[in-house]
Every structure is written in structure tokens, then in C-alpha cells.
Amino acid sequence: MHASIAVMNTKGGVGKSTLVLALAETLSANHGKTVLVIDSDAQASVSSMLMTINSLHRLQTDGLTIVDFLVATVLNGESAAWSKFVVGNVSDVDDARSVYVLPSDMQLTLFEREVSKESLHGRLRTVISQLLAEVTSIFDIVLIDCPPGLSVLTECWLREADYHISPTKADYVSVCGLEVFRRFKSLNPEMGFAENLGVIVNMKDHSSTSDNEYHRWLADNPENRCFTDAVPRMGSLQDAARFRSPDRSFMAKYPGQIGAAVKALAAEVLVRLAAGKPREMRGKRAAQPTVLPPSGPAAAPAVADSMPLTTTIAGHETIAATADAADVVPANVVPANVAEPVPASVPGTFAPQVVVSKAAAQVEP
Ligand SMILES: Nc1ncnc2c1ncn2[C@@H]1O[C@H](COP(=O)(O)OP(=O)(O)OP(=O)(O)O)[C@@H](O)[C@H]1O
Ligand SMILES: [Mg+2]
């Protein structure tokens, strides 16, 4: 079972990054899965939960983040192997050895601004599509930690990933965030969208009447596919955000009730993935082997089709970015950005070129 899952709610602070961390560590420690965490948030929250701050700063300074990968492939039209940017030896859980991260940097915001300014949405989507096709063939589970809101990059993950999971709090504003997301999903269905793997009610206070009412209301709507149990609000899960050295056991990091909750969640994710239909069978646009054209219209290939590459709003078609010749790539050719050989392509044996040192907070080649 190989799958990519975008963890998304347009509302901030609902526990997206916290649950990405907990799921990654639980799937690794308790199920032996190789998990790649893609940090797509300029806040780099989940990156900082998976390594020391010094290690993260070093990676950012050395140009080894998702921003550097995307700037090279999307803005500069260069070839860059994603494997160069995937970091190993992360997580402070001693039995979660198969967690990897593609870390982030605050410059992601500036990157997205450039994509919009240069109308490179098509090229961005092609790179994301190819990246997900490649990493999903190597890692068992790919978890994408999305920022709040709906940026051009987030839209690409949502259109190209296999599934999305939406954490929410059991309160009015967080549920409104889910509604915004649901309406966004209904726009331009022909462009493809990840399938809903479920809504996770997080930070639930079981003694609160209001929390119980919102939880029931969410669970009663089958479209939500709510996970069976809510994740309770607990200080130990808040503490899990802080990377510790030396490593600790899974039970020490996720004790008692919170350990049971994240284990139940991970187990249900696996059951739902096993029951899900593969992307191709859902009739979505399969990841096409594509080539990124060098910059400049002269070298650009012919436009394959005129499909809009970003969401359009009824009555506001003029804001839609339609692919231009420099952005659109023909199908069935090999992508330039993965032209370099990738290391081990056997699931479970990925060998990262970059690992971080936990004790000395150094980046080691
Ligand atoms: N079940 C929980 N119990 C207690 N605290 C929690 C729980 N889940 C998340 N938190 C805390 O809630 C805060 C927000 O969590 P987190 O950063 O994961 O949310 P987010 O949705 O990723 O936020 P953003 O939208 O800014 O990326 C953090 O302080 C986190 O530790
Ligand atoms: Mg977050």
C-alpha cells in the first residue's frame, strides 16, 4: 500500500502539524511503515518538531529544503533530484526509525509569490505531480503538512495527492474552515482532487457539551467520513511538538490515553487506505511522465491542451491562470527534474543523502 495524503483544513491551529507528526511516528514505530513527511508550510512547524532547531537552520542555510527544490525545478527550470532534499535520522522516538522529512523554510511564501507573478502554476503542478509519483513509489506513506488557507502550492497537493485528511476542532470556526474547503473542492472537478480519507476531530474536551454537539453533528454527515474516535485535548500531545534529545520510546512520548488515541488513528488510516481505490481507478489524472521545458518561449514545447491550471470561480473566469506555452508540458516524456538517478527505489530501503545529528545539531553529509 503506497499513498500520499494531504493533511488540510483552511482553518489554522486545528492540529494539522501535530497530527502529521503523531501519525508519522506511530506508522513508523508501530507498523514499520516508511513515512515521508513533506512540510509545505512556511512556518516549518513539523520540520521543527522532527529535528533540533539548529539542524533545521543549518538545512535552511545550506539550501536543503523544499523551497530550494521548488525554486530549482519550477522557477529556474533546472533539474534537481528530490532525494537530495529528503532528510533522514529525524524524530526523537527511538523506535520510529523510518520517518523522513522534506523540510520547509519561510521563503516558501516568497516562492509562491514568484509562481503567481510569473504565472508558473502549470509548471508547479507538473513538478508536484512528478514528485508525488516518485516518492509514493518509494515510501509507504507520504504525509503532506499543508498550511492554513488555500495557496497555489496547497492547491497542487490537493489536486495531485491520493487522499486528504482534515483535522478540525469541535467548534464553530474550525467547522467553517471545513466548509470553505468543501466548497473549494467542488470547484473545477474536472481538474481532479484528492479523495477524502476522513475528518479527525482533534483537541476534543469530552466534558464539554458544545464539543460533544459539534462532534455528533460532524459524525452524522457521512460526507465527512469522521474517524471513529476523537483525539482528546491533552498536554502530552502538545508536549510532543518539542523535539527532545536523547531519543525516547514511543510510549514515553505518547503515554496513556494519547498513545491509545494516536494508535487507533493510525490503525484506522491503514484500514481506510487498504479499502480505498487506487488513484487510477478513480479516473483521476494519473501522474504523467513529463518534461520541464527550459525557460523561455523559444524552447517551449507545444501546448498539450488548454486545461486551466488553477481554480476558476464562476463568473470570474478572467482570474483563472491558463497554461501558456512555457508552462505546459507534453505527456509521455521523461521529466527533467528527476533525470538524475534516485537512490534506492525499493520501499523500506531509502538511503537519505542528508541526515541530521541529534546531539550536536549538525547537518552531516
Ligand atoms: N490533541 C491536542 N491536545 C492538546 N494540544 C494540541 C492537540 N493537538 C494540537 N495541539 C496544540 O494546538 C496547537 C496548534 O497545533 P498545530 O500547530 O499542530 O496546528 P496546525 O493546524 O498545524 O496550525 P497551523 O494552521 O498554524 O499550521 C499547538 O500548540 C499544538 O501543540
Ligand atoms: Mg501546521
pLDDT digits (tens, 9 = 90+) for 115-143: 999 999 999 999 999 999 999 999 999 99
pLDDT digits (tens, 9 = 90+) for 305-320: 333 444 444 433 333 3
Task: Report which ligand 1 atom has the smallest distance to the Cα of 203.
Answer: 1
Beta sheet of 3-7, edge-to-edge order: 195-202, 163-169, 3-7, 141-145, 35-39, 99-102, 87-88, 354-356, 363-364
Query: What is the residue extent of each domain of the chain?
Result: 3-351
User: Distance, CA 151 to ligand 2 centroid (Å)?
Assistant: 14
Q: Whose CA is nearest to atom 28 of ligand 1?
A: 238
Q: Whose CA is nearest to atom 31 of ligand 1?
A: 238
pLDDT digits (tens, 9 = 90+) for 99-110: 999 999 999 999
Decide whether any atom of ligand 1 lies within 6 Å of the 229 Cβ: no
Decide whether any atom of ligand 1 lies within 6 Å of the 21 Cβ: no
Contact yes or no for 262/254 (Cβ under 8 A) = yes
Q: pTM here?
A: 0.84
Provide the pLDDT for residue 348. Answer: 53
Distance CA 126, CA 113 (A): 18
Contact yes or no for 22/176 (Cβ under 8 A) = no
pLDDT digits (tens, 9 = 90+) for 138-163: 999 999 999 999 999 999 999 999 99
Distance CA 103, CA 82 (A): 12
We find that the CATH architecture of domain 3-351 is 3-Layer(aba) Sandwich (3.40)
pLDDT digits (tens, 9 = 90+) for 199-224: 999 999 999 999 999 999 999 999 99
Q: Is 138 left (phi over 0), alpha (psi -120 to 50) or beta?
A: alpha
**Nearest ligand by distance to the CA of 14:** 1
Q: Best mutation site among 17, 18, 178, 233 for ligand 1, i.e. most ligand atoms within 8 A of its Cβ?
A: 18
Provide the pLDDT for residue 281. Answer: 63
Mean pLDDT of 1-25: 96
Name the residue with higher pLDDT: 345 or 40.
40
pLDDT digits (tens, 9 = 90+) for 41-82: 999 999 999 999 999 999 999 999 999 999 999 999 999 999
Confidence of residue 282 (pLDDT cuts 50, 70, 90): low
Mean pLDDT of 180-184: 92
Identify the weakest region by mean pLDDT among 114-118, 197-201, 327-331: 327-331
Provide the pLDDT for residue 316. Answer: 39
Confidence of residue 356 (pLDDT cuts 50, 70, 90): confident
Contact yes or no for 41/104 (Cβ under 8 A) = yes
Q: Whose CA is nearest to atom 30 of ligand 1?
A: 238
Taking residue 147's Cβ as centre, other Cβ atoms within 10 Å add up to: 23
Provide the pLDDT for residue 297. Answer: 32
Helix, strand, coil % over all residues of the chain, rounded to 5: 45, 15, 45
Mean pLDDT of 72-98: 96
Mean pLDDT of 19-43: 98
Provide the pLDDT for residue 353. Answer: 87
Decide whether any atom of ligand 1 lies within 6 Å of the 233 Cβ: yes
Residue 167 pairs with which residues in a beta bridge?
200
Q: Exposure string (b/e) for 84-111, b if CB count within 10 Å is 16 or more?
A: bbbbbbbbbbebbebbbbbbbbebbeeb
Provide the pLDDT for residue 351. Answer: 86
Identify the weakest region by mean pLDDT among 11-25, 35-49, 185-199, 332-346: 332-346
User: Distance, CA 179 to ligand 1 centroid (Å)?
Assistant: 20
Decide whether any atom of ligand 1 lies within 6 Å of the 23 Cβ: no
Decide whether any atom of ligand 1 lies within 6 Å of the 300 Cβ: no
Decide whether any atom of ligand 1 lies within 6 Å of the 40 Cβ: no
Distance CA 293, CA 53 (A): 37
C-alpha distances (whole Å) from 107 to each of 44, 52, 102, 219 are 10, 19, 14, 38
Pairing of strands 363-364, 354-356: antiparallel
Decide whether any atom of ligand 1 lies within 6 Å of the 16 Cβ: yes
Neighbours of ion ligand 2 (CB under 5 A): 16-17, 45
What percent of the chain stands above pLDDT 70?
Answer: 78
Which helix (H) or strand (E) is 273 found in, with range?
helix 256-275
Decide whether any atom of ligand 1 lies within 6 Å of the 169 Cβ: no
Query: Chain-wide mean pLDDT for the chain?
Result: 84
Provide the pLDDT for residue 233. Answer: 98
Provide the pLDDT for residue 278. Answer: 64
- Neighbouring residues of 229: CB distance < 8 A, sequence distance ≥ 6: 261, 264, 265
Is pLDDT at 260 greater than 80 in this prediction? yes
Q: What is the DSSP letter of 309?
A: S
Mean pLDDT of 244-260: 96
User: Distance, CA 40 to ligand 2 centroid (Å)?
Assistant: 9
User: Distance, CA 275 to ligand 1 centroid (Å)?
Assistant: 29
Task: Report which ligand 1 atom has the smallest distance to the Cα of 41.
Answer: 27
